[in-house]
Amino acid sequence: MRILLIGYGKMGHAIEAIALKRGHQIAGTIDRDNANDLQKFNASNTDVAIEFSQPESAFANIKYCLENNIPILSGTTGWLNKKAEVEELCKNNNGTFFYASNYSIGVNLFFQLNEQLARLMADQSEYNVDIDEIHHTQKKDAPSGTAISLAEGIIDNNPNKENWLLEKESEKSITIHAHRVENVPGTHTVKYSSPIDDIEIKHTAHSREGFAMGAVMVSEWLPQQKGILNMKDFLANLKK
């Protein structure tokens, strides 16, 4: 396939290496220095776009691809206040838009485990739940999109929890503790605590390769799809 990389930082380079190894072509790379070059790409020279840019530019990048019939998957976080607008744009253009806060297959299995544990803990009122996340210091948004997805997974499956916050507010809120440390790909821990004991589930990334591999695998599947999609759709396809 001809893959357009929008965002050419560490993640973009990791995706490029895996895509080339799997026999794909890089149609082009877009970064801050050549942002206007995005206008050179359309459905005639690009099969799919992989977007890992910055929160302030993600919406415009996705909008361009949807308006120019380029299937696009995005992993950028910090812009999701405009996600409903993107989904409406995707529908109006009969386009293909895929979003995930994390493309690692392992993390997405972790999401499912988190949801199952949340259902089991729904009747255990003596336990409080917190989320702890650690990322590299270059990550600008806090909490991470992955931590937010974990919190949303708990809220969706535990009626005792209503929202997430960076500081403890009430028993109905989930506190996310966000830490930034040099050269750390990412660690997420969901911890249920009671006076008697603690229950924890944890995912630790050892490198960016898992995230990059997942993004490339999704990009291989995406051009044959239409509509608004996510990792649950992709993982369901893997089971077939």
Active site residues: 135, 139
94: left (phi over 0), alpha (psi -120 to 50) or beta: left
CA distance 65 to 161: 37
Q: Taking the mean position of all CA atoms in its chain, how far away is CA 35?
A: 22
CA distance 129 to 165: 12
**Helices 105-121 + 231-239 axis angle, to 10:** 100
Q: Taking the mean position of all CA atoms in its chain, how far away is CA 11?
A: 12
Is the bond leading into 223 cis (omega within 30 degrees of zero)? Answer: no
CA distance 173 to 175: 6
Provide the H-helix boundaries in the chain.
Answer: 10-21, 55-67, 83-92, 105-121, 145-157, 209-221, 231-239
Output the six-digit token pair for 213. 């591999």
